[in-house]
């Protein structure tokens, strides 16, 4: 672990007595690793579980975590990263809201000798030396899985399959991957048409809002599929469909991403037809990687979280409780 600037003896006593948080960073062989974590927000059930998983794993593994919630604002994330640098944490981890805009602050971390882990979403940079490792889901694969489900579901249909897409936060890795992967698979089948796509920021309230607009704009009979980039937006859209007298999962097929317990319950009830898992429980892996990186080990540059798909063609009774 890196040595921090020594405190004077008096300051040390004062800070110890005041039980100030920072005191735990006074150098000794047993000092815990200090991890600065910048979380992008709390926009969804997935995110709430992700934050829980990270904090719980830090506690379990004896890592001292400084956790900052950026409330969906990249400027707050940059501020948090700078405060971690000023504090001289041992390692920084962060889930970037969007892909671009990080080079300067990560350059500052690098200059300060603080390693950086990227978690959940990816950054777009030409300089790979700015981070030690990135642990993310394969969002392009998630998008492709969503497309593959539709190919199977509509294999006997010759008529057009009109799709409404509720996309995640613009310029974020999951929204990009889930859109691109989906289109990559479906473009070989001209009957599939994305007739409407809008950014719902991964939020239930926006899912509701956008679905309302969609039902004003289109005759519901002309919509065959709702592809939603996360469960929370799906829940909002389901509410609106039901209020409009539609039967979600029957009148409009639904593909959702995340696999929260509620979406699995909907899948079992036939309200959702396919759920692509996106696993938020990365906490333990993050802490293990943090320990290895702080110990000076070289770790793999790119790591992917293992994920599966649940759909109406599978054995729904065997799905284990999700825990989120
Ligand atoms: O799917 C969504 C959340 O970045 C994988 O962000 C994450 C996504 C997740 O708000 O629910």
List, for residues 217-275, the tens digit of each pLDDT value.
Answer: 999 999 999 999 999 999 999 999 999 999 999 999 999 999 999 999 999 999 999 99
73, 93: one domain: yes
Question: Which ligand 1 atom is at minimum distance from the Cα of 120?
Answer: 4
106, 171: one domain: no
Mean pLDDT within 52-67: 98
129, 143: one domain: no
| 3-class DSSP state of 150 | helix
User: How far is the C-alpha of 146 from the C-alpha of 319, rounded, in Å?
Assistant: 18
213, 96: one domain: no
Q: 60 or 11, which is more confident?
A: 60
Q: Give CA 311 to chain center in angstroms.
A: 21
Report DSSP state, residue 324.
Answer: -
Residue 9 has pLDDT above 60, yes or no: no
User: How far is the C-alpha of 155 from the C-alpha of 187, rounded, in Å?
Assistant: 15
Residues 6+ apart with CB under 8 A from 215: 240, 241, 244
46 lines ligand 1 (CB under 6 A): yes
Does residue 15 belong to any structural domain of this protein? no
pLDDT over 70 for what percent of the chain? 91
User: How far is the C-alpha of 49 from the C-alpha of 213, rounded, in Å?
Assistant: 30
Does residue 300 belong to any structural domain of this protein? yes
63, 148: one domain: no
**Cα separations (Å) of 130 from 113, 248, 298?**
11, 45, 14
Does residue 317 belong to any structural domain of this protein? no
Question: Which ligand 1 atom is at minimum distance from the Cα of 257?
Answer: 1
Q: In which band, very low, low, confident or very high, does the pLDDT at 166 lie, cut at 50, 70 and 90?
A: very high
265, 285: one domain: no
pLDDT of residue 4: 52
Question: Which ligand 1 atom is at minimum distance from the Cα of 203?
Answer: 10
**CB neighbours (10 Å) of residue 100?**
11
202 lines ligand 1 (CB under 6 A): yes
248, 288: one domain: no
User: For residue 107, what is the domain's CATH number?
Assistant: 3.40.50.2300
Strands 34-39 vs 64-69: parallel, antiparallel or unpaired: parallel
What distance in angstroms lies between residue 111's CA and the mean position of ligand 1's atoms?
31
Mean pLDDT within 129-157: 98
What domain count does the chain have? 2
Does residue 188 belong to any structural domain of this protein? yes
119, 187: one domain: no
Closest CA to ligand 1's atom 8: 174
79, 174: one domain: no
121 lines ligand 1 (CB under 6 A): yes
271, 298: one domain: no
For 277-293, what is each residue's pLDDT tens digit? 999 999 999 999 999 99
206 lines ligand 1 (CB under 6 A): no
Report DSSP state, residue 26.
Answer: S
Q: Which two tokens stand for residue 224?
A: 């065959």
Residue 24 has pLDDT above 50, yes or no: no
On whether the CB atoms of residues 149 and 110 are closer than 8 A, the answer is no
pLDDT of residue 194: 98
For 294-303, what is each residue's pLDDT tens digit? 999 999 999 9
Does residue 244 belong to any structural domain of this protein? yes
User: How far is the C-alpha of 297 from the C-alpha of 286, rounded, in Å?
Assistant: 14
178 lines ligand 1 (CB under 6 A): no
Range of the domain at 188: 139-278
| For helices 74-87 and 103-111, angle between their N-to-C axes, nearest 10 degrees | 10
Residue 20 has pLDDT above 80, yes or no: no
Does residue 6 belong to any structural domain of this protein? no
Residues 6+ apart with CB under 8 A from 107: 127, 130
261, 295: one domain: no
Q: What is the pTM of this model?
A: 0.90
Strands 225-228 vs 192-199: parallel, antiparallel or unpaired: unpaired
pLDDT of residue 120: 98
Does residue 323 belong to any structural domain of this protein? no
127, 143: one domain: no
DSSP 245-309: T--BTTTBEEEEEE--HHHHHHHHHTS-SEEEE-----HHHHHHHHHHHHTT----SEEE----E
Does residue 226 belong to any structural domain of this protein? yes
User: How far is the C-alpha of 234 from the C-alpha of 173, rounded, in Å?
Assistant: 19
Mean pLDDT rounded to a whole number for the chain: 93
Residues 6+ apart with CB under 8 A from 232: 43, 44, 45, 46, 202, 203, 204, 207, 258
pLDDT of residue 119: 98
pLDDT of residue 8: 42
């Amino acid at each position: 672990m890196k040595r921090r600037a020594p405190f004077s003896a008096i300051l040390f006593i004062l800070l110890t007595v005041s039980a100030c948080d920072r005191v735990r960073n006074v150098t000794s062989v047993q000092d815990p690793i200090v991890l600065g974590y910048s979380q992008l927000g709390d926009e969804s059930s997935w995110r709430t579980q992700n934050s829980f998983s990270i904090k719980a794993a830090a506690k379990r593994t004896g890592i001292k975590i400084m956790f900052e919630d950026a409330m969906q604002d990249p400027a707050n994330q940059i501020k948090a990263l700078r405060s971690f640098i000023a504090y001289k944490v041992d390692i920084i981890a962060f889930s970037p809201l969007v892909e671009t805009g990080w080079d300067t602050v990560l350059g500052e971390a690098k200059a300060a000798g603080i390693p950086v882990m990227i978690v959940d979403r990816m950054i777009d940079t030409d300089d790979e030396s700015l981070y030690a490792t990135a642990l993310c889901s394969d969002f392009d694969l998630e998008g492709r899985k969503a497309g593959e489900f539709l190919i199977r579901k509509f294999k006997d249909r010759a008529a057009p399959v009109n799709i409404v897409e509720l996309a995640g936060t613009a310029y974020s890795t999951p929204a990009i991957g889930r859109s691109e992967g989906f289109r990559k698979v479906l473009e070989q089948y001209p009957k599939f048409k994305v007739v409407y796509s809008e950014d719902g920021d991964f939020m239930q309230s926006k899912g509701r809002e956008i679905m309302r607009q969609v039902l004003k704009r289109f005759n519901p009979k002309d919509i065959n599929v709702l592809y939603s980039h996360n469960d929370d937006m799906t829940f909002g859209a389901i509410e609106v469909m039901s209020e409009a007298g539609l039967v979600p999962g029957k009148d409009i097929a639904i593909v959702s991403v995340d696999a929260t317990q509620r979406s699995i319950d909907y899948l079992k009830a036939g309200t959702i037809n396919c759920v692509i898992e996106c696993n938020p429980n990365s906490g333990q892996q993050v802490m293990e990687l943090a320990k290895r990186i702080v110990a000076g080990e070289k770790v793999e540059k790119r790591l992917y979280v293992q994920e599966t798909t649940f759909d109406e063609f599978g054995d729904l009774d065997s799905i284990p409780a999700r825990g989120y």
